[in-house]
């Protein structure tokens, strides 16, 4: 049975101490430790950039930069392998600082042997794997909380924070901002005739088409039911209308394959830009896009309309 291989980078400027660590790991035959040694933190960064390591053994006293400072820098720079710190003398303060700075373990060099070091490495790797899995699950839960389950675009919960953020940014920096409101035409009738399963397929196809027709910086949201919203940072009125026309045309051209045939799908779109709404709050932007959408519906559906003039105030 093949032994597990663990690639270890030892950062140690003392030749004698480096040799001791090498012998310790060599004695532990249950794992194949592939050990590489460098003398400084600068060399360590160079090797880590060239080769992925499973774990770092880091000496506290190093030329140019001590191990604690380097450890803090590693944690700031991003996702790095687990670190066990070694020092030539025991000090509770240094041990606490090392652990608080991100070390997985800390040992005075005169307090370890082959078994202790191998066990510490095993525990550090296990804790590191569990930490990464926990982070992955947390990120997945956060993603699910802001994602529409059916269409895989953002949901209304995310829209609230995204539109508020973009409105604030557009006001502060005097940037363009556009908002599209998209509604599938006659969707209730469509569901009654073809069934909700086909309706779900239509919603997923429409969401995918919208996403393909807009920029990566734009935010596609399922607003509810058969309605979608697109938030378009730094999009002028002409750019927003062009994107809306592209969405409208693409959806109408595709249709939806059902059995041996295809059925028509169309959308109506209302577009609102920051130039239409001087207040530019999430509520006014959505209301503006909704008025334009209703105008598109009144005029016959399957079309795009910009913000219509506001009704004149009563005298």
Q: Which residues are catalytic?
A: 226
Query: Residue 8 in contact with residue 121, Cβ under 8 Å?
Result: yes
Tokens of 132: 């990464």
Question: How distant is the alpha carbon of residue 300 from its chain centre?
Answer: 40
52-74: b (≥16 Cβ within 10 Å) or e: ebbbbbbbbebeeebbbebbeeb
Backbone angles phi, psi at 149, to 5 degrees: -65, -40
C-alpha 210/C-alpha 151 separation (Å) is: 11
Query: Residue 68 in contact with residue 98, Cβ under 8 Å?
Result: yes
Distances (CA, A) of 245 to 91, 145, 182: 69, 31, 11
Question: Please, what is the Cα angle at 181 between 176 and 186, to 5 degrees?
Answer: 160
3-state secondary structure of 106: strand
Query: Residue 258 in contact with residue 269, Cβ under 8 Å?
Result: no
Query: Residue 40 in contact with residue 63, Cβ under 8 Å?
Result: yes
C-alpha 23/C-alpha 34 separation (Å) is: 12
Left (φ > 0), alpha (ψ -120 to 50) or beta: where does 234 sit?
left
């Amino acid at each position: 049975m093949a032994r597990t291989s663990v690639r270890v980078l030892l950062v140690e400027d003392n030749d004698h101490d480096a040799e001791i660590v090498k012998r310790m790991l060599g004695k532990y035959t249950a794992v194949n430790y592939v050990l590489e040694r460098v003398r400084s933190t600068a060399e360590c960064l160079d090797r880590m950039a060239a080769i992925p390591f499973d774990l770092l053994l880091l000496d506290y006293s190093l030329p140019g930069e001590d191990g604690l400072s380097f450890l803090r820098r590693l944690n700031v720079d991003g996702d790095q392998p687990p670190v066990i710190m070694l020092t030539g003398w025991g000090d509770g303060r240094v041990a606490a600082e090392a652990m608080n700075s991100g070390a997985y373990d800390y040992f005075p060099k005169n307090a370890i042997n082959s078994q202790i070091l191998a066990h510490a490495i095993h525990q550090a790797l296990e804790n590191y794997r569990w930490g990464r899995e926990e982070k992955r699950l947390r990120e997945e839960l956060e993603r699910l909380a802001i994602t529409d389950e059916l269409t895989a675009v953002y949901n209304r919960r995310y829209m609230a924070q995204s539109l508020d953020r973009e409105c604030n940014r557009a006001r502060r920096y005097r940037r363009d901002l556009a908002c599209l409101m998209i509604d599938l035409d006659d969707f209730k009738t469509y569901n009654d005739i073809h069934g909700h399963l086909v309706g779900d397929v239509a919603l997923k196809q429409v969401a995918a088409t919208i996403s393909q027709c807009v920029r990566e910086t734009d935010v596609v949201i399922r607003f509810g039911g058969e309605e979608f919203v697109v938030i378009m940072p730094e999009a002028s009125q002409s750019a927003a209308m062009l994107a809306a026309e592209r969405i409208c045309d693409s959806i109408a051209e595709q249709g939806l394959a059902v059995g041996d045939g295809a059925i028509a799908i169309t959308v109506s779109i209302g577009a609102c830009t920051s130039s239409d709404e001087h207040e530019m709050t999430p509520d006014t932007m959505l209301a503006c896009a909704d008025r334009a959408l209703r105008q598109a519906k009144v005029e016959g559906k399957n079309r795009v309309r910009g913000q219509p003039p506001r009704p004149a105030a009563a005298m």
